[in-house]
A and B are shown apart, each in its own frame.
Chain A
């Protein structure tokens, strides 16, 4: 794994010009590589907003089961990174170590560091609730709070974290607008969230996590329970959000990874703990994977 340690950083220095070359050499039309290279990859540092996230030698355990081994990966500020890999490779576990949700599993254990703005979020004395305010999360299954209305759901983060906001009406509209839901719900803010469709509920959950103004947003297969139309709208939402924040998304859908992400990381478990096999700019990972296993996975030969 040693040669992968600094891939994230290498990638971030790679030249955007390479992508154009890639498009010409690509022979299969509409391949994943094409889809990926149709995006203009955002270069790190071009965005003043948000903090980068750096995972340094992260291991995770559940009881005696070693679930994740030595993952080192950078998420540059203002970029979208997708984590791909077959089920059980530890990508969701890895995602949950990034905002300290991992520790809610009673037998969980961890080694390594996760740096947010250069500071280890696992350092002793760190206020974990503050960390989760800065690193938001959207879950696989839409989980709006059933006892609250649509409007209350969006603003629930402020109440839960006891933050005072001067003008909640503006914030409400802004968050729903950014999540691409405002036009659909603006006349029914007082209805219960259960009245919305699954896709709308998921966008409501995104709006809810935006209200506390996180710098990083972690998304754990946010579209896996949704129909193609809702998936499309959420991907649009992700593209909009990426202008102002760092996004890490776990997905089983290669097309989605190719469409939405600037960088991709491939994780794999060969029965043992999940490991980071390769990480690269998305267009590169899908067109010229360096590792045979990555190639097999992205071309659909296994997994």
Chain B
């Protein structure tokens, strides 16, 4: 008796009975092949032309065929369900095209321009039309690091405290401030540059500098970081705040020890999104930090280069094969940076909220 039971337990295998049966899979593949073939027919006999025509034809015939087939097989509700599924697949495909195309173009054209000198030399001894091995992006990379870093230092306290004002203090003006912060996130970047130019650079410092660039960038960063931080703070259940207060803590003590630690990863994400927002800004930096070909480590004096400036200059002043390669290599470096930052943000925010 026991041996039989034992054997039964041993033979029980984990399975997924809800998965598609071979029959259902064949049905789905059949729909796909039918749409595939119908697309060729459409290109041949109708006004649809070329690759794009084929893709459009394929999607529309796939949507139609799967709807009709599902209707015949399982009835109206199932057909409506499959219609929505195939239409949203189509929408996702359209949304991905530009992103994939940008990535593909930048990587395929940029990777040949990558070389070690890019990170060790600047453009003070080279022109954009020199061979790609002469000169590099050092000035641009250093400039971007310094300006984004300074902007981060300026932005961090202001935007986090703004978010805490909106969610924790909920003062009289929170409605107005929330509206202003939202409106600020729509400010065109060139306006931020012009504001710093007219309010500080012309009347006070009268020279280009990295610090001015950082100020302009932080105007753009503050609303992004403050809004994201506000959103993550709003996710904290009120129970936690009350638990802290009921233990005899002051409000700031509760915020510092309970609320902020509970959203640590969300706040880090907010900061990274803010950095990613400004790292590619070109217009405001052209106005207030100028753009340097020589590496400048001093943020308070003299023009400072940046990666977007490097790209802009290579493209505008060039015209040769070399300058074009510089442009694409610069874009690739920038893109890698932005992707890297977003990947970190995603990793941190997807981690279980234990820490």
Q: How far is the CB of B213 from chain A (nearest CB, A)?
A: 36
Q: How far is the CB of A23 from chain B (nearest CB, A)?
A: 39
Q: How far is the CA of A146 from the CA of B235 in the complex (A)?
A: 13
Return the chain B residue nearest A205 by Cβ: B243
Question: Within 8 Å CB of A147, what residues of B?
Answer: 258, 261-262, 264, 355
Asked if A106 lies at the interface with its beta carbon under 8 angstroms from chain B, I say yes
Q: Which single member of B237, B239, B240, B248 contacts A129 (CB below 8 Å)?
A: B248
Given contacts A132-B246, A208-B247, contact A160 B170 (CB under 8 A): no
User: Is there an interface contact between B170 and A106, defined as CB atoms closer than 8 Å?
Assistant: yes
Contact residues, A113-136 vs B (CB, 8 A): 129-133, 136
User: Is there an interface contact between B247 and A161, defined as CB atoms closer than 8 Å?
Assistant: yes
User: Is there an interface contact between B242 and A139, defined as CB atoms closer than 8 Å?
Assistant: yes
Q: How far is the CB of B253 from chain A (nearest CB, A)?
A: 5
Return the chain B residue nearest A163 by Cβ: B248
Q: How far is the CB of B238 from chain A (nearest CB, A)?
A: 8
Question: Within 8 Å CB of B247, what residues of A?
Answer: 132-133, 136, 156-157, 160-161, 208-209, 212
Asked if A233 lies at the interface with its beta carbon under 8 angstroms from chain B, I say no
User: Is there an interface contact between B240 and A160, defined as CB atoms closer than 8 Å?
Assistant: no
Q: Mark A139-177, 1 if CB is under 8 A from B, else 0.
A: 101010111100000001101111000000000000000
Given contacts A146-B353, A147-B264, contact A104 B243 (CB under 8 A): no
Q: How far is the CB of A192 from chain B (nearest CB, A)?
A: 5
Q: Which single member of A101, A160, A208 contacts B253 (CB below 8 Å)?
A: A160
Asked if A231 lies at the interface with its beta carbon under 8 angstroms from chain B, I say no
Asked if B280 lies at the interface with its beta carbon under 8 angstroms from chain A, I say no
Q: Would you give 13 A-B contacts (Cβ < 8 Å), ordered by A?
A: A101-B242, A101-B246, A104-B242, A106-B170, A129-B249, A132-B248, A139-B242, A139-B243, A156-B257, A160-B253, A205-B243, A209-B247, A212-B248
Binding site for A on B (CB under 8 A): 170, 237, 239-240, 242-250, 253-254, 257-258, 261-262, 264, 353-355
Binding site for B on A (CB under 8 A): 99, 101, 104, 106, 129-133, 136-137, 139, 141, 143, 145-148, 156-157, 159-162, 192, 194, 205, 208-209, 212
Q: Which 7 A-B pairs have the closest CB atoms?
A: A133-B248, A160-B249, A147-B261, A137-B246, A143-B239, A157-B247, A161-B248
